[in-house]
Structure 1
């Protein structure tokens, strides 16, 4: 009978040790799950902040694109002025030729004005090309940011889902802690 009692005491002691180890492991799992929840929440906040910053950048690039349109209109005005100046220089050269020797100085001025008009016209074409390229690059950047915004939204959803799963793990580990605590208490009573 003493051996039987001794065997039972040993079994209870072994079970108590196992219950204590399981309890400690469950408490550690609960702490890890709690820390995981905090990390996921921080990740969600960072991703949401990135999303807001991408929105701000997209709006800024869109504003730059609109300014490019304004620059384009100004360049068209300058080009129109250059074209008119070229016509005036041509008319002045014709009148200078009619005036003969007396219009010679006027012809030199008309030729310089025509040269300036041609250079201005060429420069406006270059500006239009640069503005068009900037506009196209702006559209690409906005499209890229919109794609990134969709991905960050998906990232937030996944992080929230991960947070929910971690909270479920945490709840499960609390249930295990409670169950093991009850088993441990029962073993201590025997």
Structure 2
């Protein structure tokens, strides 16, 4: 009876030792797994930190691009205003040229009439005829100059019109570009926020696994 009990106890101790060995093996394997997870978590945390840094760099670059687009938009607007001012001045000059042309036409007509009247008077009107002839020449020169100025003004106004149309298109494209840039900047803001959140969560997981592994 005692021998049987001793044998049972011996078997129980043997089973307990085997269970302890298996438990120790399981703990070792679990520790290895936890260490592997901790190592992987640390690698992921490093990668998340790197991604966060890249997101920050991208965000800073986008902010610079947004500022550049703002400056370009301001420059385009200023140039457009200058073109409009130039167009206004050109129209004023055109009006003055029209007035000069009208005066020259009237002066030429008056000089012609004066020459006719001077010729009708005869010898006494010769001096007046000479003056009228000089006035007529001056009027014709004024007409020629006005025509040349008119040609120049017409060319300038055509260039102004083309520039104004080009600036209008450019302004629209800059506006679209600014809108796209702003939307992209907001996209980077969202990415940066999400990246920061994920990085913090991964850091927490990494810390927990390191504590378990220790």
Task: Quickly name the TM-score band, shorter chain normalised.
Answer: 0.7 to 0.9
What count of residue pairs does the alignment treat as equivalent? 190
Contact residue 36 and residue 163 of structure 1 kept, 8 A? no
Q: State the TM-score, normalizing by the size of structure 1.
A: 0.88
Which residue number in structure 2 is paired with residue 183 of structure 1?
205
Which residue number in structure 2 is paired with residue 158 of structure 1?
180
Contact residue 72 and residue 131 of structure 1 kept, 8 A? yes
Which residue number in structure 2 is paired with residue 103 of structure 1?
125
- Structure 2 gaps of 5+ residues are 1-21
Contact residue 61 and residue 141 of structure 1 kept, 8 A? yes
Q: State the TM-score, normalizing by the size of structure 2.
A: 0.79
What per-residue deviation string (whole Å, max 9, x for no partner) do you get for residues 58-83 of structure 1? 12211211111111111111111111
| C-alpha RMSD of matched pairs (Å) | 2.0
Q: How does 1:5-154 map to 2 (within 5 A)?
A: 5-154=27-176
Contact residue 33 and residue 169 of structure 1 kept, 8 A? yes
What per-residue deviation string (whole Å, max 9, x for no partner) do you get for residues 102-155 of structure 1? 433433332222122111112112212222222222222222222112111111
Greater Rg, structure 1 or structure 2?
2
Alignment partners' CA distance in 2, 1:84 and 1:117: 9
SS of the residue 2:122 aligns to: helix
